[in-house]
A and B are shown apart, each in its own frame.
Chain A
Amino acid sequence: MLRVWQALVLVAVIALWHIGTSPTLLPPLYFDNADKAAFFFGEPLTVLSRIWNWFAGGEIYRHLWVTLVETLLAFVMGTVSGLLIGIWLALAPTASAISDPYIKALNAMPRLILAPIFFVWFGLGIASKVAIGVSLVFFIVFFNVYQGVREVSPVVLANARMLGATHRQLLRYVYLPSAMSWVFASLHNSVGLAFVGAVVGEYLGSSEGVGYLIHQAEGVFDINSVFAGIVVLTGFALVLDWCVTLAEKRLMIWQPRQGETERI
């Protein structure tokens, strides 16, 4: 039943959109020209056919692939570097105290503004988009891991030491799993930001990727293609998010979940 209502909302929004922008269905209420609404807001049917043509013609796959590669690279590199540096700083109080103000400053900085620098350093190819994504993902993972390592239960730690764990074993069997649970808590966020980094990077300067597609369409005032790009990106993001949920379910079975009782 819920699904039906959810579908109805979608249908209603599209129907409203269609009626509002179609030049023949309504008299021009706000715009002096009947075609202006369509110019600014696009038309849902044209948007759909645009998407269809992209997929049917095969033109979109190359762009999606590039965006996917950028997102995954940024995600993996950002997560791994955040994990390593997070664990290191959490366990090295002196290094952590020295770097504290700089990390805070870097985190406070709107990091998308680094894009021009990355373009100069890494060129207009994949590398600069990955760099933007990494700069976004790193801090999320870093702060979570830092917190996770510092909040390892002292009793669990003492217990592992009493059971004979060496320093390395503590790192591997206590700190790392504990930090991983925090990494997973931030996984949805970090995949999302890796994606943002990739698309914004493409939008700012590239020759392929879905962000580039949108930028091209915007350049010729093809609002329908812009909307089509947005819809494709949203679908893509949903698929990524779903993959994360799957991975989470697989790897985090040890975490307690709120119990639910069945009503008989």
Chain B
Amino acid sequence: MTAALALERVTCTFISRENRDQRYTAVRDATLVVAPGEFVSVVGPTGCGKTTLLNVAAGLLAPSAGSVRVHGELLEGINARAGYLFQSEALMPWRSAFDNIVAGLEFRGVPADVASAKGNDWLKRVGLAGFGNRFPHQLSGGMRKRVSLAQTLILDPKILLMDEPFSALDVQTRQLMENELLELWSADRKSVVFITHDLEEAISLSDRVVVLSAGPETHPIGEYAIDLPRPRDVSEIRLSPRFIEIHAEIWHAMKDEVLKGYAQQQQ
């Protein structure tokens, strides 16, 4: 079976604008393969280039070397089969929640009545019925994330790229959102690449966890299959003995990289 998403030996080197000799290689020779319907989490120390990797997968950033294949086809430009959930605020502040959710349909030229029916359906599915005409600044952080989620999922992307989407939320809201995400995902198994720095979050959500080395020149240094049973409840599964075992194993591998990354940030 062809992979839903395959990053093959991707290298990303940034050149400083002021001084063209100054280079920074964020990612080197990174290979990441995601099977159809697979939920993969990518963890790594802060500042290691996780977002760079995701931007390459989204087609927002062209890699310096290497290639990206989407369902076997070489990616050029924006990855139209992927939805991207950003870490920071990505909603258009001048559009209401509803108008934000249907924005993608509007861009694609979907007739207004179809779009509005779908929009209302998604508003309900993310638990925001009755909040459609609120503007982003009138919603709480958790509600804004739900709008973002609906905005992305309404286009039914085959691949979902998520960049620490819940990192700005408080712990309780976060676990609620994680459970909701698992529920939405299990309905029609999309391929997911979930970036996070939170190992617990990664394990409780995914089928597989990929650990990245500290930057610069980040690359995957380990892969761990998560054999916890589904459906899962993220707050309960964290207490199971198998979870703790897996956590200990991955953390053991990650610890050195985290310390390295931390040391670099201190400089």
Binding site for B on A (CB under 8 A): 153, 155-156, 158-166, 169, 173-174, 177-178, 180-181, 253-256
Contacts and interface: CB of A to CB of B under 8 A. Distances in A.
Contacts of B135: 253-254
B79 to A, nearest CB: 8
B205 interface: no
Contact of B103 (A160, A166, A178, A255): A160
Contacts of B83: 162
Contacts of B242: none
Given A254-B94, A254-B137, A162 B58 contact: yes
A160 B82 contact: no
Contacts of A169: 107
Given A166-B107, A254-B135, 4 more contacts: A155-B89, A159-B90, A159-B91, A254-B137
Contact of A254 (B86, B95, B106): B95
Interface string B85-97: 0101111111110
Contact of B78 (A153, A162, A254, A256): A162
A253 B137 CA distance: 10
Contacts of A165: 103, 107
Given A173-B103, A253-B135, A254-B135, A181 B94 contact: yes
Among the interface residues B58, B90, B106, which one has the most CB atoms of the partner chain A within 10 A? B90
A159 B107 contact: no
Interface string B126-153: 0000000001110000000000000110
Contacts of A181: 94
B39 interface: no
B157 to A, nearest CB: 9
Given A156-B90, A169-B107, A173-B92, A162 B84 contact: yes
B181 interface: no
Contacts of A161: 60, 78
A159 B101 CA distance: 12
Given A169-B107, A254-B135, A254-B137, A160 B94 contact: no
